[in-house]
């Protein structure tokens, strides 16, 4: 077993419109890279952090070391690790930046320890890293980052996660505008209660989206990518949101919504050609309004965290 490995942990889209806090999917190519090395002492240390500022190197506060420590505590191990981080997902992008680091850290440490846990079992530890970042141990980003594909959280207590089959032709378009939306602010503006009629509509869409993915029914997927609870509240935080979304729909997208807590906006399309047209249309809205952006076109990543050379 190697004493040092490099890991790729993919970025993610959480919520996926109607699935607030329970649904997520993994993206290809865009994500964090971590180098994790076993050490001869019992300490967890954070080395270089490339690509982002203001990320703590204190091992009691960094999501990577917090997640690894949770795993070590579970098995009663005193093994030390040194972690170098290359952030290719901007914190605050809505693409699961802290989740990718947390997921990649426990995946890499688990590999170096001889794989005592399955990927699905690692989710509980990666969630502790998320808790360090956002004060809530949620799994809608860490689960797809670890497992790949499209994941659904049936329950948090007890933790019950399952993967959903999806059409290979389903392509994600993500536009990340250069504006700041703090996760804490995006959480704060949500209402603690919802109308029963809205809850019923949301339950129907979650069920139908899951069924549409499994049966590869693009019409059902299109009809289900509706969010009547969170989008109406959070969309006001993102400049040009409605215009961007409408441009994507006019270009052929099945549907779109806010990725995580934003400001990234995603759309799902059938086929890469359509997804690229959607990306051009959505990004043109931001360009017209003088807002810088990043654009990603991605298939759903079926692998999740993996070792790289």
Q: How many C-beta atoms surround the C-beta of residue 246 within 10 A?
A: 15
**Phi and psi based region of residue 292 (left: phi greater than 0; alpha: psi -120 to 50; beta: remaining):** beta
Rounded to an integer, what distance in angstroms lies between the CA atom of residue 104 and that of residue 10?
8
Q: What is the dihedral of CA 156, 157, 160, 161, to 10 degrees?
A: 10
Residue 286, C-beta contacts closer than 8 angstroms, at least 6 positions apart = 175, 177, 239, 240, 244, 292, 293
Given 12, 128, 130, 151, the catalytic residue:
130
Measure Cα distances from 272 to 172, 179, 296 in Å.
9, 27, 12
Rounded to an integer, what distance in angstroms lies between the CA atom of residue 224 and that of residue 209?
5
Question: At CA 93, angle to CA 297 and CA 117, rounded to 5?
Answer: 85
Nearest to 107 by CA among 211, 32, 192: 32
Is 10 strand, coil or helix? Answer: strand
Whether 130 sits among the annotated catalytic residues: the reply is yes
Given 151, 173, 183, 210, the catalytic residue:
183
Whether 128 sits among the annotated catalytic residues: the reply is no
Q: How many C-beta atoms surround the C-beta of residue 199 within 10 A?
A: 13
Rounded to an integer, what distance in angstroms lies between the CA atom of residue 256 and that of residue 276?
14
Rounded to an integer, what distance in angstroms lies between the CA atom of residue 181 and that of residue 199?
26
Please list the active-site residues: 130, 183
């Amino acid at each position: 077993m190697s004493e040092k490995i490099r890991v790729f942990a993919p970025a993610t889209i959480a919520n996926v419109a109607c699935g607030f806090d329970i649904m997520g999917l993994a993206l290809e190519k865009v994500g964090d890279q971590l180098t994790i090395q076993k050490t001869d002492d019992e300490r967890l240390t954070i080395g270089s952090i490339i690509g982002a500022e203001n990320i703590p190197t204190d091992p009691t506060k960094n999501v990577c070391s917090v997640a690894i420590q949770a795993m070590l505590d579970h098995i009663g191990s005193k093994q030390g690790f040194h972690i170098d981080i290359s952030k290719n997902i901007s914190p605050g992008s809505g693409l699961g930046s802290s989740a990718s680091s947390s997921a990649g850290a426990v995946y890499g440490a688990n590999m170096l320890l001889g794989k005592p846990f399955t990927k699905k079992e690692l989710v509980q530890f990666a969630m502790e890293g998320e808790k360090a970042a956002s004060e809530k141990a949620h799994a809608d980003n860490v689960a797809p980052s670890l497992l790949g594909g499209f994941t659904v959280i049936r329950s948090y207590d007890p933790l019950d996660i399952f993967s959903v089959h999806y059409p290979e032709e389903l392509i994600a378009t993500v536009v990340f505008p250069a504006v700041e939306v703090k996760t804490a602010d995006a959480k704060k503006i949500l209402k603690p209660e919802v109308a029963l009629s809205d809850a019923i509509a949301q339950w129907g869409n979650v069920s139908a989206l899951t069924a549409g993915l499994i049966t590869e029914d693009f019409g059902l997927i299109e009809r289900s990518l509706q969010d009547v609870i969170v989008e109406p509240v959070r969309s006001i935080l993102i400049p040009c949101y409605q215009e961007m979304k409408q441009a994507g729909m006019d270009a052929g997208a099945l549907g779109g919504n806010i990725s995580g807590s934003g400001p990234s906006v995603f759309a799902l399309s059938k086929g890469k050609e359509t997804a690229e047209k959607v990306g051009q249309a959505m990004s043109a809205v931001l360009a017209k309004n003088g807002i810088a952006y990043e654009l990603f076109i991605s298939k759903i990543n079926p692998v999740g965290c993996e070792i790289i050379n």
